[in-house]
Structure 1
């Protein structure tokens, strides 16, 4: 005999939850797993990168290196029912855009990160013994994978991205790219004590 006393949502509540989930492509349903440990399914989905309405919500380091708001994120996930919730694992792939921290050239590259997260049942021991910011919860048999993907990508990003490891950067005098200026590039330096005298002498 089942001892699960968790209240089940009404048909109207379930439809409303389905509508909310459909409006957010980062939300996945776990209803097919039906709280049966060992049951597993795989899902693949391409979702739009967040930040189209508010650039500050873009994934990454805004102004340095981030997923462009109009760039999709490809998710390949495995959803596995366990005793305490649903364990989600897989990969997330996305395009990154930004600029080199030395020469300011535009950067355009791909990133793939590993995603692993346990989403706890709301009435589980895990839910009772942990804070929500430690282990996320399932809500209406659904989970939002965006925070997990966001954290995984940000942790992989360099604080000072480079176009190449040996990028020479910019000339401090003229601002030109040292890679284009050549090895003989330089600027005449004049002792400031002679500056006033030079102004009085003929230019030739």
Structure 2
């Protein structure tokens, strides 16, 4: 990651001041964000708006990330576009003794750390995007009918109410077997 990443935030002022600090950062994402079939492509402009709060030895970052996501319908393969808006909240430690407990549990998540007065929320953004985007996006997820997508793929069984249409993906096989049925 480079310092030009919108997900790398300078917390030096926040560590010196006890008041929460609002920030806005706009830049191109250095990595792809999202699931396999829908996500924010690398190099797409994202907007990160949020608040950094000094926790006395650590920093909490609450941010909203907004970016255009694109992908394909898993059913008809039509292009899908969606405005992605996710909320990320992460705590970063400034020292080893920031978060301690009576019993250390080795299974606990690793505490994120402040490095050179910066914090990196990239992984938190990726994780939250994967949880918020549909794993199998379809036109229906976005309130669009697959018939409106401009493809010849018929509706799933029991939905269309129209005469039976042959799926264009199987049309060649249907023609072949139709010849066999005529004999």
Where on the TM-score scale, by shorter chain, does this alignment land: which range? Answer: 0.7 to 0.9
Unaligned runs of 5+ in 1: 1-19, 52-57, 199-204
Structure 1 residues 22 and 168, CA, compared in 2 at 3 Å: closer, same or farther?
closer
Matches within 5 A, 1:1-204: 22-35=3-16, 38-51=18-31, 58-62=32-36, 64-126=37-99, 133-165=109-141, 176-178=152-154, 183-186=162-165, 195=180, 198=183
Structure 1 residues 70 and 142, CA, compared in 2 at 3 Å: closer, same or farther?
closer
Unaligned runs of 5+ in 2: 167-173
Tell me how large the CA RMSD over aligned residues is. 3.4
More helix by share: 1
Q: Could you tell me how far 1:35 is from its partner in structure 2?
A: 4.9
Structure 1 residues 125 and 169, CA, compared in 2 at 3 Å: closer, same or farther?
same
Cα pair 1:21 1:28 within 8 Å, conserved? no
CA distance in 1: counterparts of 2:181 and 2:25, whole angstroms: 69
Cα pair 2:139 2:146 within 8 Å, conserved? no
Other structure's SS at 1:178 match: coil
- Could you tell me the TM-score, scaled by structure 1's length? 0.66
Higher normalized contact order (CA 8 Å, seq sep 6+, divided by chain length): 2
Q: Could you tell me how far 1:143 is from its partner in structure 2?
A: 0.4
Q: Could you tell me how far 1:74 is from its partner in structure 2?
A: 0.7
Structure 1 residues 97 and 21, CA, compared in 2 at 3 Å: closer, same or farther?
closer
Equivalent residues, number: 163
Structure 1 residues 79 and 196, CA, compared in 2 at 3 Å: closer, same or farther?
closer
Aligned structure 1 segments of 4 or more residues deviating by more than 2 angstroms: 20-26, 33-36, 122-125, 127-135, 165-170, 194-197
